[in-house]
């Protein structure tokens, strides 16, 4: 049985006027169980020579909506101006932007696809899905 752990920490000495330190860790389990997630698409790195618009990177229906799944995406670039827009493919609902070095980790229910748009040419996206078999 695989054990996959996700963690995040956020700290600042001046964000709230006082120091801030938040940390959270979670073991990723199959839906409704204590059995660890054991499947992944593998970490992919995709270079886009041309600007992309509403490109679906995780297709709707690929993963059953009754399973546990998580999506990781990162803009490995260093630009403070160029970004990758993350969106829910159905209706192109924007989730947010990933500027150089930014990343996101989102739970995924499988019913809708996940897409991206790039703000310019010559951009790279890293991404992976961690999930359970249906």
CATH number at residue 115: 2.60.120.10
pLDDT of residue 110: 86
pLDDT of residue 7: 94
Residue 114 in domain: yes
Q: Over 80: is that where the pLDDT of 90 sits?
A: no
pLDDT of residue 98: 98
Which contacts of 104-108 are long-range, i.e. CB under 8 A and separated by 24 or more positions? 104/71, 104/72, 104/73, 104/74, 105/6, 105/8, 105/70, 105/71, 105/72, 106/70, 106/71, 107/68, 107/69, 107/70, 108/58, 108/63, 108/69, 108/70, 108/71
Residue 100 in domain: yes
Residue 48 in domain: yes
Residue 24 in domain: no
Total of domains in the chain: 1
Residue 124 in domain: yes
Residue 20 in domain: no
Q: pLDDT tens digits for 13-67?
A: 988 788 889 999 999 999 999 999 999 999 999 999 999 999 999 999 888 888 8
Residue 28 in domain: no
Q: Which domain holds residue 103?
A: 38-131
pLDDT of residue 130: 95
Q: What are phi and psi of 92, to 5 degrees?
A: 50, 45
Residue 33 in domain: no
Q: Over 70: is that where the pLDDT of 79 sits?
A: yes
């Amino acid at each position: 049985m695989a054990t996959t752990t996700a963690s995040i920490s956020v700290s600042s000495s001046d964000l709230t006027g006082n120091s801030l330190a938040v940390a959270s860790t979670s073991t990723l389990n199959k839906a409704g169980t204590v059995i660890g997630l054991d499947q992944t698409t593998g970490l992919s790195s995709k270079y886009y020579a041309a600007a992309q618009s509403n490109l679906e990177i995780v297709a709707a229906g690929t993963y059953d909506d009754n399973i546990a799944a998580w999506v990781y995406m990162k803009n490995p670039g260093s630009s403070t101006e160029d970004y990758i827009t993350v969106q829910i493919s159905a209706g192109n609902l924007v989730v947010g932007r990933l500027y150089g070095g930014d990343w996101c980790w989102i739970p995924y229910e499988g019913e809708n696809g996940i897409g991206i748009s790039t703000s310019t040419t010559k951009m790279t996206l890293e991404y992976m899905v961690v999930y359970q078999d249906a």
